C-alpha cells in the first residue's frame, strides 16, 4: 500500500528488507516482492526465515470495510503473521493499528483520547485494529515477542489536501511516518501502544 511503498523506499538504506504484498505497485517491486495470501498460514510461514523484525502493514485498510474483508485480512491474516513470526523466532513485531480503534471517542467529542483510554472503535475496521492490539498483547505476554502497536493517523504529503478538522488533527507527515517506524523498530521498550501522528496544533 501507500505506507508500505513509502517505507520500503525510505528504509532500504538502513535495513535488509524482505517485502511482501499482494501485487507489485512499482516496477522495482516486481523483482523483489514476495507474494503470499495472509489468510493461508502455509504461505505465510516461509516469509519469516531469517527475519528479525516484522513491520505488519497488510490488511483491509478502509473504515468502510465489510466484515468478510476485515475477518480474513485483518483478523485471520494478522493471527497467521503473528503465529508465523513466533514459530520462526522473530524478535519484534510492529503492528500498524489505527486511530479508528478509538474513533468512537472522536464521534462524541470525548477528548483527550490517550493510549490508556478504553478502546472505542468507529467501524468494523476499527474493531479489527482493537483485536490486533489485543492479540499483540497476548503474544508479548505469552511468548515474549516484542510488540509495538502504532495507531497511525492520516498520511498525506500536504495536510491542507482536506478541510476536515479531524484529519488535520490526525495528520502524519511522510517524514514522521518514517521516523515513528524507525523508532518502533529500534526502541528499547518491548511492548507498547502509541499514537503515530505529527505535532499538529489540534491533535
Q: What is the Cα gyration radius of the chain?
A: 16
Instruction: Return the half-sphere exposure (C-beta side, CA atoms, 13 A cut-off) of residue 60.
Output: 23
**Residue that is written with C-alpha cell 492479540 in the block:** 135
How far from 178 is each of 75, 145, 173, CA to CA, in Å?
Answer: 25, 22, 9
* Active-site pick, 15, 41, 125, 139: 125
Please state, in angstroms and rounded to a whole number, the distance separating the CA atoms of residues 126 and 117: 15
Instruction: Say whether 15 is catalytic.
Output: no
The sign of the torsion formed by the CA atoms of 10, 14, 20, 23 equals positive
Please state, in angstroms and rounded to a whole number, the distance separating the CA atoms of residues 110 and 108: 6
Q: Answer whether 81's CB lies under 8 Å from 48's CB.
A: no
Kindly list the catalytic residues. 125
Amino acid at each position: 500500500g501507500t505506507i508500505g511503498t513509502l517505507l520500503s523506499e525510505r528504509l532500504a538504506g538502513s535495513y535488509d528488507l524482505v517485502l511482501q504484498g499482494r501485487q507489485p505497485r512499482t516496477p522495482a517491486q516486481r523483482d523483489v516482492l514476495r507474494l503470499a495470501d495472509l489468510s493461508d498460514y502455509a504461505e505465510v510461514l516461509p516469509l519469516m526465515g531469517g527475519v528479525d523484525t516484522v513491520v505488519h502493514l497488510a490488511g483491509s485498510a478502509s473504515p468502510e470495510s465489510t466484515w468478510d474483508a476485515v475477518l480474513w485480512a485483518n483478523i485471520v491474516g494478522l493471527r497467521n503473521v503473528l503465529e508465523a513470526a513466533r514459530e520462526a523466532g522473530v524478535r519484534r513485531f510492529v503492528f500498524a493499528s489505527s486511530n479508528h480503534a478509538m474513533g468512537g471517542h472522536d464521534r462524541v467529542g470525548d477528548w483527550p483520547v490517550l493510549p490508556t483510554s478504553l478502546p472505542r472503535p468507529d467501524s468494523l475496521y476499527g474493531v479489527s485494529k482493537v483485536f490486533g492490539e489485543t492479540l499483540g498483547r497476548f503474544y508479548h505476554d505469552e511468548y515474549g515477542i516484542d510488540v509495538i502497536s502504532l495507531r497511525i493517523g492520516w498520511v498525506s504529503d500536504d495536510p491542507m489536501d482536506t478541510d476536515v478538522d479531524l484529519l488535520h488533527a490526525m495528520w502524519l507527515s511522510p517524514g514522521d511516518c518514517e521516523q515513528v517506524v524507525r523508532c518502533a523498530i529500534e526502541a528499547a521498550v518491548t511492548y507498547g501502544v502509541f499514537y503515530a501522528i505529527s505535532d499538529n496544533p489540534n491533535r
